[in-house]
Structure 1
Amino acid sequence: MPTEVYREALRLAEDIRDKYLRAVTYAKIGYYMHRAKHPEYKTAFKYAFNVVSSMENPFLAAKALIEIGTYLWKTGSKTARKVFGQVHDAVVDFPQPIRDDLLEELVVRLLELGIIDDALFYVGDIEDNIKRNDLLLKILRVYLKHGNMRRAYLIINQIDDEPWRSIAVVETVKVHLKREEFGSAIRILTELKSEYWLGEAMKEVAMCLKTADVPKATYQKFVDIALSLSGETGSDVLNSLLIGMGSQGELEFVMGILEKLPPEQRTSVLEGIVSASIDREEVLSRLLNLLRGDEFERIAGFVMDRLLSRPVSESYSDLVKTIGGRTREDAVLVKVATYLAKLGDFDAALEFASRVRGHYLRSLAFGSIAVSKLKGGDIDGAIDAALEVKDPKWGSWLLSEILTKILELQAEGEVSEDIEAKAESQRAIWEKG
């Protein structure tokens, strides 16, 4: 671009009446002159500084210097850091809240430019705890991204307030785990005092340990941390850790730890693993294979509840049939029959429903099959399913409901799946009568 264009730009900038805008415009012109390798770009910045020195509003002068420093930095000038320092020195004498607002703006700009050490130095002068701690976390994440753990620890030691300190520790733990620095992760974990953040950190631990394929002894060290914590906090943290490990497939290790825990805590962990692994059929299958007796029945029922709360999938057919083959509980068999009926596997659904002994639950099992058959347009099959309930009261009730639903289907074009709710309502009526 011809030299005359830049000179004309500088001349026109003189006509900008607003001094803040004039100063910033000069800085922008200087930046673009530098990009064009124009030798007189420093002149434009000189004009910018001259305008700032004539400004009567110290707030706008400080904001203008931040912009000038930004464009200077983009030219590679070392003077930019001195400009930012000048802004800082001026702003610390400003009244609140302008003081903290400008310091925040300065720190954010330094972060954007990658001048991280200066940002850390200046952030300490921000008096507002929320602003300061939020910015410290932003600076921490930059240091962690670049692997500067020494600076990261320096920031953690500057944060006293919660939840910022716990967040900082968890963020740092994540990096240590990613780098497989498990000793450092263990050391910093002990600084967490918040029950919630300990739980969150332990979930990260579980995921990273599985990915790293570490020895069981390393798992045990993290378990020991959880066990060393007292009361409810220790239990919650251990639960989170075990749930995370279990959902990652470390089921045998988890079961070994669960043997030492009370039944209610075992149940909580096992249900947590199911919830976290509901999209992983292989984990659910292995987990159920490790359970026996009442514990199997309880967790199998929980698995079926979670599966029935989601759209049915053929990929869970074998798991559901395995549960049906092992369970001795009528309530679980009803859920198995219901799921298989929803899949359209009526032969298997009828097989499991036929094993239900209680009249009330048997009506639920065959009722779910009947409804699924109706939804598929098989009216005769729906009636046949209803007739499988031989108890005079419940058989009559179910036949009545299915006949009603046949009419509902003809009138509305769809059938509501409310057999369980209606059965419960009818049972309540009979109990009162």
Structure 2
Amino acid sequence: MATDVYREALRLAADIRDKYLRAVTYAKIGYYMYKARKPEYGTAFKYAFNAASSIENPVLMVRALLEIGTYLWLTGSKTARKVFGQAHDAIVEFPDAVRDDLLNELVMRLLELGLVDDALFYVSDIKDTVKRNDLLLRILRVYLKRGNMRKAAMIIGQIDEEPWHSIAAIEAIKEHLKREEFGSAIRVLSELRSEYWLGEAMKEVAIYLKTSDVPKATYEKFVDIALSLSGEAGSDVLNSLLIGLGSQGELEFVMGILKKLPEEQRWKVLEGIVRASADKVDILKRLLGLLKGEEYERMAVFVMDQLLSRPVDGGYAELVKSIGERTKEDAVLVKVATYLSKLGDFEKAWKFASRVRGHYLRSLAFGSIAVAKLKAGDIDGAIDAALEVRDPKWGSWLLSEILTKILELQAKGEVLEDIHERAEYQKSLWEGG
């Protein structure tokens, strides 16, 4: 990439066909230019607004405004609030279902940015009771964390429906107890309307007081009531036995028993063995060797998920390659390519990624390779990997993400490994929009 990485990024972004992605990419570039103290960062945001204004789909246009507003706020610009207001004004014109979903996104974004008062202002426009009350609980927790008990009490007063009212009250009670505001805790407690939630609240009170310096005799009855409301969960002895035996290597015996069990129970045992044997490569390999067809593919996904949830280890390389050679599923190939790219085995990762047929999953596979190459300092290799997704829509998306990550690397010296999460989010936007 050229020496002036920001100018080159702006040039390349202009080639992104998808107008939503182009607008968002310009906003990201503007943010990273700001971080790099480039005074021309405003130009990037101007391009972002221009791209957003040309989006024909009104839902995507709103979502573009949310992204632009987010990156503007991160630059310290007060204009961001106006952008969120503009998004809100557009949203309220939509039909109810779409309107509430987009308002939900707006409020969640404001909470993420710490704009809690703004979030509270907009949440009242949501008509769906469940969505509105769920968000009010989120906002309440932020105010409680900040110690703003006045706003917290106001929110509790706004929530009439159960169980949200009681959940909100209990959250406030716990905070009052932490602050040793026992009078306030008792007041909120007395306002609870449900016997069930009153019991839950008393349990919280009892647990706190039991560990505090308050005289035990005064509150012993609360402790007894709370304990009487708590249940005791049992465990499945057979499942535990089979998982223990399997993790110790008695796989053939376990598989013989599993043939006699219901399908749901079989999966629980197999997954339990994998979890218990995550550090035993030979057990995992033998277990997969005893499985066939759909059963193999399902457990191959589960094994790869377990491996990807842990620090990568070269000791698993042969197991991962054997899974890649045997599987017929694109989803498994993506995970194999991801793991191998994390290990730095780009040749094998590229081989398995090339077998992925679906555009979305192919973007995940080559996106993982691209991110790994960026972390290894190979910017050109990362761009080459991104260009392997030739579908116009997903190709544009991946190019946008990799360009952003190049700037991320320039600004922070590190790259977030969030391609899969970003792709899932983008897929939901396209399917919903």
TM-score (norm 2): 0.51
Letter in 1 for 2:117: D
Instruction: State yes or no: 1:54 paired with 2:36.
Output: no
State the alpha-carbon separation in 2 of the partners of residues 152 and 111 from structure 1: 15
- 1:284 paired residue number: none
Contact 1:20 1:64 (C-alpha < 8 Å) held by counterparts: yes
- 1:204 paired residue number: 204
Paired residue secondary structure (1:175): helix
- 1:94 paired residue number: 94
Letter in 2 for 1:34: Y
Contact 1:23 1:64 (C-alpha < 8 Å) held by counterparts: yes
- 2:188 paired residue number: 188
Q: What does 1:28-427 correspond to in 2, within 5 Å? A: 28-215=28-215, 219=218, 241-244=223-226
State the alpha-carbon separation in 2 of the partners of residues 85 and 3 from structure 1: 38
Contact 1:27 1:48 (C-alpha < 8 Å) held by counterparts: yes
State the alpha-carbon separation in 2 of the partners of residues 26 and 175 from structure 1: 43
Contact 2:2 2:8 (C-alpha < 8 Å) held by counterparts: no
Note the alpha carbon deviations across 1:387-412, whole angstroms, 9 max, x for none: xxxxxxxxxxxxxxxxxxxxxxxxxx
State the alpha-carbon separation in 1 of the partners of residues 155 and 2 from structure 2: 49
Contact 1:180 1:212 (C-alpha < 8 Å) held by counterparts: no
Note the alpha carbon deviations across 1:340-367, whole angstroms, 9 max, x for none: xxxxxxxxxxxxxxxxxxxxxxxxxxxx
Distance 1:186 1:175, change over 3 A: same
Contact 2:26 2:44 (C-alpha < 8 Å) held by counterparts: yes
Note the alpha carbon deviations across 1:314-345, whole angstroms, 9 max, x for none: xxxxxxxxxxxxxxxxxxxxxxxxxxxxxxxx
Paired residue secondary structure (1:200): helix
State the alpha-carbon separation in 2 of the partners of residues 65 and 122 from structure 1: 16
State the alpha-carbon separation in 2 of the partners of residues 17 and 81 from structure 1: 28
State the alpha-carbon separation in 1 of the partners of residues 56 and 47 from structure 2: 17
Contact 2:96 2:127 (C-alpha < 8 Å) held by counterparts: no
Count of residues paired in the alignment: 233
State the alpha-carbon separation in 2 of the partners of residues 132 and 14 from structure 1: 39
- Extract unaligned runs of 5+ from structure 2: 234-433
Letter in 1 for 2:74: K
TM-fit CA distance, 1:77? 1.2
- 1:306 paired residue number: none
For the pair shown, the structure with the greater C-alpha radius of gyration is 1
TM-fit CA distance, 1:56? 2.1
State the alpha-carbon separation in 2 of the partners of residues 23 and 150 from structure 1: 40
Letter in 2 for 1:49: F
Paired residue secondary structure (1:76): coil
Contact 2:140 2:168 (C-alpha < 8 Å) held by counterparts: yes
Letter in 2 for 1:96: D
Paired residue secondary structure (1:214): coil
TM-fit CA distance, 1:84? 0.8
State the alpha-carbon separation in 2 of the partners of residues 3 and 111 from structure 1: 37
State the alpha-carbon separation in 2 of the partners of residues 161 and 115 from structure 1: 25
Contact 1:199 1:241 (C-alpha < 8 Å) held by counterparts: no
Runs of 4 or more, structure 1, over 3 Å off, are none
TM-fit CA distance, 1:3? 7.1
State the alpha-carbon separation in 2 of the partners of residues 130 and 37 from structure 1: 44
Contact 2:140 2:152 (C-alpha < 8 Å) held by counterparts: yes
Paired residue secondary structure (1:212): coil
Letter in 2 for 1:44: A
State the alpha-carbon separation in 2 of the partners of residues 84 and 2 from structure 1: 35
Contact 1:133 1:164 (C-alpha < 8 Å) held by counterparts: yes
Paired residue secondary structure (1:38): coil
TM-fit CA distance, 1:243? 3.7
Paired residue secondary structure (2:171): helix
**Quick one: higher RCO (CA 8 Å, sep 6+), 1 or 2?**
2
Contact 2:192 2:198 (C-alpha < 8 Å) held by counterparts: yes
Note the alpha carbon deviations across 1:146-191, whole angstroms, 9 max, x for none: 1111111111011010000000000100010111110000111111
Identity of aligned residues (%): 73
Distance 1:81 1:3, change over 3 A: farther
State the alpha-carbon separation in 2 of the partners of residues 55 and 204 from structure 1: 51
Note the alpha carbon deviations across 1:267-303, whole angstroms, 9 max, x for none: x79xx89x89xxxxxxxxxxxxxxxxxxxxxxxxxxx
TM-fit CA distance, 1:4? 2.8
TM-fit CA distance, 1:215? 4.1
State the alpha-carbon separation in 2 of the partners of residues 2 and 136 from structure 1: 48
Note the alpha carbon deviations across 1:34-92, whole angstroms, 9 max, x for none: 11111100110011111112222211110000001111111111111111111111101
Distance 1:194 1:94, change over 3 A: same
Letter in 1 for 2:205: V
TM-fit CA distance, 1:210? 2.3
Instruction: State yes or no: 1:4 paired with 2:24.
Output: no
TM-fit CA distance, 1:5? 2.1
Letter in 2 for 1:106: L
Q: CA RMSD in A?
A: 2.4
TM-fit CA distance, 1:2? 7.9
State the alpha-carbon separation in 2 of the partners of residues 180 and 212 from structure 1: 10
State the alpha-carbon separation in 1 of the partners of residues 111 and 128 from structure 2: 19
- 1:334 paired residue number: none
Contact 1:137 1:164 (C-alpha < 8 Å) held by counterparts: yes
State the alpha-carbon separation in 1 of the partners of residues 185 and 223 from structure 2: 14
Paired residue secondary structure (2:166): helix
